[in-house]
Structure 1
């Protein structure tokens, strides 16, 4: 992410969030996180391969402001959100 936020960057945030929210609801994106200092982000994306994931990320409205992209293919992705809910006998 850039060191400072220009007006053009800030203007793209609503459109970017709309794209992210749509991809989350479509289950293309599993997880989306931005660091507290807003300099780094992590996204877990379902894709056929690294090329497909890169193509998707390149379409993000804020992509031109990203300073670097690293794509790692995961073998295992486990989280509380992906587990079955705890059964309550009440």
Structure 2
């Protein structure tokens, strides 16, 4: 099985990994394996298709025909500026 070495690991990050491993009752190495497996085996949340599916689910059943644009600009029209060359 391949070996992975991580150099220049921030001391605070290493401490958090050590504490998390102790909470689970296993080594830091095992904790790192579990974290990597969880992150890499989970479908990417930044996938465009997955994002679109979440948006569709969020707004499912919402009708767009009752939406009215804001009238706040009504009556505030002004003449376009003219620029001399």
TM superposition score category, shorter chain reference = under 0.3
Which one has the largest radius of gyration? Answer: 2
- TM-score, length of structure 2 as denominator length: 0.24
- TM-score, length of structure 1 as denominator length: 0.23
By percentage of residues, which structure has more helix? 2
By percentage of residues, which structure has more strand? 1
Identify which of structures 1 and 2 has the higher relative contact order when contacts are C-alpha pairs closer than 8 Å and 6+ apart: 1
